[in-house]
Amino acid sequence: MRKGKRRAIGPLLWGALPFLWLLTTPGAPRLLPRPQWWEIRLALTVRGDYTVRELETTFAGEFEFRALWEGTMERDGVDFLLYHTKTEAPHWEIREKAARPNATRILTEKETAEKPRLRVNYIMRQDRELRFDFEVEGIRIPLDSSAEKFDLVLPRSKESSGEGAGYCDSISKGSNLIAIGDDALARDRLERSFSWEWKRQGWTAQEKGAVFVAGSHKAGVTVTLIRH
């Protein structure tokens, strides 16, 4: 198989690197010497909406995003290395309606160069599970250039770190813990699906006054592991 560069980074796994150690927990059962590597696919679909209301203008948007992350994981002694092969984003659509007292304007993804990006930060072994840390980097909304800008909140896993703290607190249904039992390493192929719903709303203070921001989305993730 094609190999990339390697770099050991110790117990802390930093999401900015495209290839990372997959650490085993102390005292974990010794794995069989074969197989030596696995294909990994993480497919994501998200559909959602948002509202931004300021002064006499309301911006209401709907969006849909699909992406596929592909990589490989190979054995390196008692540890593992994760390699990123490619990420595809075959579908991104957003439609925003800006309603003012005397005018209405419709904007779409054609009016912005920004596009969400799916990123897998790492996979780690914990409590006899393989846990996936991923996030979708969003865009700024509303699309209308005259409005105050906010981050469009998009899916992330429970293991994800960095910006977006408190994301899990707004999950109303399902779970964003993306984890599979480590016995999956002994199977020829495993596919597992996860889903959740997220919703948040509130007022935020800006220079022009208070702005109401609301957002929600439904996310689905399918993880596929293929042994070689």
**Cβ–Cβ < 8 Å for 133, 156:** no
User: What is the model's pLDDT at position 207?
Assistant: 79
Name which residue leads in pLDDT, 80 or 176: 176
**Confidence tier at 24 by pLDDT (50, 70, 90):** very low
What average pLDDT does the structure give for the chain?
84
User: What is the model's pLDDT at position 209?
Assistant: 85
**Confidence tier at 52 by pLDDT (50, 70, 90):** very high
User: What SS3 class is residue 158?
Assistant: coil
**Confidence tier at 17 by pLDDT (50, 70, 90):** very low
Quote the tokens at residue 119. Answer: 């990123």
> What are the residues whose beta carbons fall under 8 Å from the beta carbon of 83, sequence distance 6 or more?
3, 4, 18, 19, 71, 72, 73, 74
List the chain domain ranges. 19-227
pLDDT over threshold 70, residue 32: no
Q: Encode pLDDT of 99-135 as tens digits.
A: 998 899 999 999 889 999 999 998 888 888 899 999 9
pTM of the model: 0.80
Quote the tokens at residue 53. Answer: 């209301």
User: What is the model's pLDDT at position 179?
Assistant: 95
pLDDT over threshold 50, residue 58: yes
Quote the tokens at residue 96. Answer: 């925003």
In angstroms, rounded to a whole number, what is the distance separating the alpha carbons of residues 47 and 211? 24
Q: Encode pLDDT of 185-222 as tens digits.
A: 899 999 999 999 999 999 998 877 899 999 999 999 99
**Cβ–Cβ < 8 Å for 134, 107:** no
The CA–CA distances, whole Å, from 49 to 90, 96, 158, 200, 201 equal 20, 9, 21, 11, 12
